[in-house]
A and B are shown apart, each in its own frame.
Chain A
Amino acid sequence: MSAPTMEERKACWAARDEFWRCLDTHTEDAPRCEKLRRSFESLCPQQWVKYFDKRRDFLKYKEKLETEGFHPAETDGKS
């Protein structure tokens, strides 16, 4: 299986970006972006889909840390 060409890479990235923009607009409401998700999965190798999903999780987590700050487990009632 040969590596994606530059055109294929760009098509994959574009589909990913569209899908992510949809998630941004609908605040991570995945079902609403189903069609774009499928397009993204068809244009990108499976390994890349997994990689980008993890990347998205990481970016969202980072954003959360930057806006909300770090709160260790609040079971003791303190933050």
Chain B
Amino acid sequence: MALALLPARCLRRLPLRPPRLLPAPSRGLSGPRGGPPSALPLGRRVAVVAAVGGAAGGAWLYLRARKERERRERRRRELRALALGQGDFQLVDHRGRPRCKADFRGQWVLLYFGFTHCPDVCPDELEKLSRAVELLDRDAALPRVQPLFITVDPERDDVAAVGRYVRDFHPRLLGLTGSPEQVRAVSSAYRVYASAGPKDEDGDYIVDHTIIIYLLGPDGLFLDYYNRSKTADKIAESVRRHMESYEPLLD
């Protein structure tokens, strides 16, 4: 702009200086040797690019972390709203002791619903559950997981029957049963489908039911689930991840 004020002949003779956009460096406007300040020296240029690149990278990392936090927060809101398994249950364990939901507060629980007359699925899933707990037990830094079995066949699976059944799996596996009303209440709290099939002449029948292992956090709420296709290793890995990133769902 200042150049426009000079008479035309001066413009032809004077070396053209680029307009001063950047603040003058402390050494003075001219370059290091006092000559015309052309573009910044290479070192400065690299520094500028690095600074801009670093700022962009930093911004990207921050945004990614924020997106991750938002995703987790959204998931927590969803789980809280779903509130699966909220509400108490009153059952009896396989040693005859009454157990309610609060007894398991503060513990990580892997829960499976099944029945003792189950042909193959329940033993498989309980073996898998036991194996996952064993894998987690190996890491002394992690809290001990409480494996839990709840029957969907309270008519046949009394305390003694459940006791005989859970003996064959992990030593900490606790079996729970109760009256049909109590069992129905806990099955519906966990959205477990269970339907007894037709009885044969021996009175035997098979109960069709949801085949899922639930992970409950220390506040007693549902955190994750594992279907038939999840291996023991995958389950243990997932539980470990939940333990490491745990934040209570209920305030």
Q: Is the CB of A48 within 8 A of B119?
A: yes
- The residue that A47 contacts in the complex, of B116, B123, B164, B204, with Cβ under 8 A, is B204
Q: Smallest CB–CB gap between B28 and chain A, Å?
A: 81
Chain B, Cβ-Cβ closest to A52 = B119
Residues in chain A near residue B200, CB distance under 8 A: 46-47, 50
Chain B, interface size category, equals: 10 to 19
The CA-CA distance from A39 to B101 in the complex, in Å, is 45
A3 interface contact, C-beta 8 A: yes
Q: Is the CB of B203 within 8 A of A1?
A: yes
Across the interface, do B206 and A47 meet the contact criterion of CB distance under 8 Å? yes
For residue B211, give the distance in angstroms from its CB to the closest CB of chain A.
14
Number of interface residues of A (CB under 8 A): 15
Cα A74 to Cα B116 in complex, Å, equals 45
Complex Cα gap A46–B165 (Å): 20
Residue of A4, A13, A46, A52 near B202 (CB, 8 A) is A46
A1-17 vs B, Cβ < 8 Å mask (1 yes, 0 no):
11111100100010000
- Closest residue of chain B to A12 (Cβ to Cβ) is B119
What CA separation (Å) do A50 and B200 show in the bound complex? 10
Secondary structure at the A interface, as helix, strand, loop or mixed, is helix
Q: Is A51 an interface residue (CB 8 A)?
A: yes
A3 touches B119 (CB 8 A): no
Chain A residue nearest in CB terms to B153:
A3
Distance between Cα atoms of A48 and B164 in the complex (Å): 19
- Residue pair A6, B116 in contact (C-beta under 8 Å): no
Highest count of chain A CB atoms <10 Å: which of B116, B119, B123, B164:
B119
Residues of A within 8 A of B203 (CB): 1
Given the interface pairs A47-B200, A47-B204, A47-B206, the reply to whether A3 lies near B120 with Cβ below 8 Å is: no
Contact A9 B123 (CB under 8 A): yes
What residues of chain A lie closer than 8 Å to B165, measured between beta carbons?
3
Q: Do residues B120 and A13 form an inter-chain contact, with CB atoms below 8 A?
A: yes
Closest 6 CB pairs of A and B: A3-B116, A6-B168, A47-B204, A48-B119, A3-B117, A51-B119
20 A-B pairs within 8 Å (CB atoms) are namely A1-B202, A1-B204, A2-B161, A2-B164, A3-B116, A3-B156, A3-B165, A9-B120, A9-B123, A45-B202, A45-B204, A46-B200, A46-B204, A47-B119, A47-B200, A47-B204, A47-B205, A48-B119, A50-B200, A52-B119
